[in-house]
């Protein structure tokens, strides 16, 4: 009996061993098949063509993100099943909710109207700012130049009679004004200031002639500038009459070329002749009065 029992135990153990050997390859094969499915799912997700992703619309990107999330969930479940750790229904529901939320969060929504209008609005704002800044800079520069021309005229009248100081003043302001045809404007400002300034005198005639020489102006150029002076003094006929008196004696050629006597529309030629003669007589009397009592006229 003992021998029979021992033989039966040996046969049972041998059969159990053979059964384990037969079952282990099947289990290994099943697990390998599950891992192959996992690898296939991951490969399918990773091989999405780059060109198709680039050309997708917002809706297609959203749908694709949902598919990827579902595939990731399947992969996780397969791995869990292969390792013997199957999630409970409540855990599966939480995982599905988490992946659904992640997929919806990664979607690309189409730009709103405000976002589409932002680019052109920024460009228009920049352009308007540049235009305003350019206009403001130009206005400030013009005011600066006008201020320098006005200062030049005042300084020249203050230094009237001092040839060296007048020459230095002209060179200094000409340099400060910068590039451009400012010599003509400087002469006009001086001539207008001289006409509106002190009474006519021999010194005024000399200084007008000196300034033409300091600025190296030709008679043709001076004639054109006298026309500009006439426009500046059109509302001051008496001041223009003084300039006419000085110009005809300091620069007779330029005064004749500018036809200055015809540029006072409110006065007739006869009236202009009488006024010019009266100015000459008054100047002669003032010069005689300034002489000593016993000197010859």
Per residue in 212-256, pLDDT tens?
999 999 999 999 999 999 999 999 999 999 999 999 999 999 999
- Averaged pLDDT for residues 2-9: 50
Over the chain, what is the mean pLDDT?
A: 75
Contact status, residue 255 vs residue 226, Cβ threshold 8 Å: yes
pLDDT of residue 189: 97
Contact status, residue 177 vs residue 148, Cβ threshold 8 Å: yes
Question: 136 falls in which pLDDT band (50, 70, 90)?
Answer: confident
Residue 126: phi and psi, rounded to 5, are -65, -40
Instruction: Decide: pTM greater than 0.75.
Output: no
Cα–Cα dist 77/71, whole Å: 10
- How far out from the chain centre does Cα 136 lie? 12
Whether pLDDT at 290 is above 90: no
SS3 230: helix
Q: Which of 289, 290, 287, 220 is nearest to 258 (CA)?
A: 220
Contact status, residue 241 vs residue 272, Cβ threshold 8 Å: yes
pLDDT of residue 194: 96
Q: Which two tokens stand for residue 211?
A: 């300034």
DSSP 295: S
Contact status, residue 239 vs residue 193, Cβ threshold 8 Å: no
Angle between helices 182-196 and 202-214 (to 10 degrees): 170
Residue 49: how many other CB atoms lie within 10 Å: 8
| Of 275 and 111, more confident | 275
Residue 108: phi and psi, rounded to 5, are -105, 115
Residues 274, 278, 281, CA angle at the centre, nearest 5°? 140
| Of 43 and 171, more confident | 171
Residue 122: how many other CB atoms lie within 10 Å: 10
Cα–Cα dist 247/263, whole Å: 14
Cα–Cα dist 166/169, whole Å: 5
- How far out from the chain centre does Cα 11 lie? 99
Residues 6+ positions from 113 with CB-CB distance below 8 Å: none
- Considering 75-89, 95-109, 243-257, the range whose residues carry the highest mean pLDDT is 243-257
């Amino acid at each position: 009996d003992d021998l029979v029992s021992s033989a039966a135990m040996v046969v049972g153990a041998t059969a159990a061993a053979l059964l384990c050997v037969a079952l282990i390859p099947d289990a290994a094969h099943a697990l390998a098949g599950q891992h192959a499915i996992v690898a296939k799912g991951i490969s399918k997700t990773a091989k999405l063509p780059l060109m198709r992703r680039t050309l997708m619309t917002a809706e297609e990107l959203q749908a694709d993100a949902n598919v990827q999330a579902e595939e990731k969930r399947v992969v996780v479940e397969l791995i869990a099943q292969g390792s013997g750790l199957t999630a409970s229904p409540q855990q599966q529901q939480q995982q599905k909710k988490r992946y659904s939320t992640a997929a919806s969060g990664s979607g690309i929504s189409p730009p709103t109207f405000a976002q589409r209008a932002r680019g052109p609005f920024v460009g228009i704002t920049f352009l308007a700012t540049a235009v305003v800044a350019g206009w403001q800079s130009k206005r400030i520069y013009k005011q600066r130049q006008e201020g320098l021309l006005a200062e030049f005229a005042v300084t020249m009248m203050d230094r009237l009679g001092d040839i060296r100081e007048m020459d230095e003043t002209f060179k200094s302001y000409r340099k400060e004004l910068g590039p451009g045809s400012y010599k003509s404007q400087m002469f006009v400002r001086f001539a207008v200031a001289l006409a509106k300034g002190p009474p006519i005198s021999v010194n005024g005639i000399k200084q007008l002639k000196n300034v033409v020489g300091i600025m190296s102006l030709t008679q043709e150029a001076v004639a054109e500038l006298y026309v500009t002076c006439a426009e500046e003094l059109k509302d001051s006929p008496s001041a223009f009459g003084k300039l006419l008196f000085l110009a005809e004696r300091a620069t007779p050629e330029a005064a004749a070329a500018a036809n200055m006597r015809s540029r006072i529309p409110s006065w007739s030629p006869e009236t202009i002749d009488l006024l010019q003669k009266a100015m000459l007589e008054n100047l002669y009397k003032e010069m005689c009065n300034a002489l000593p009592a016993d000197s010859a006229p």
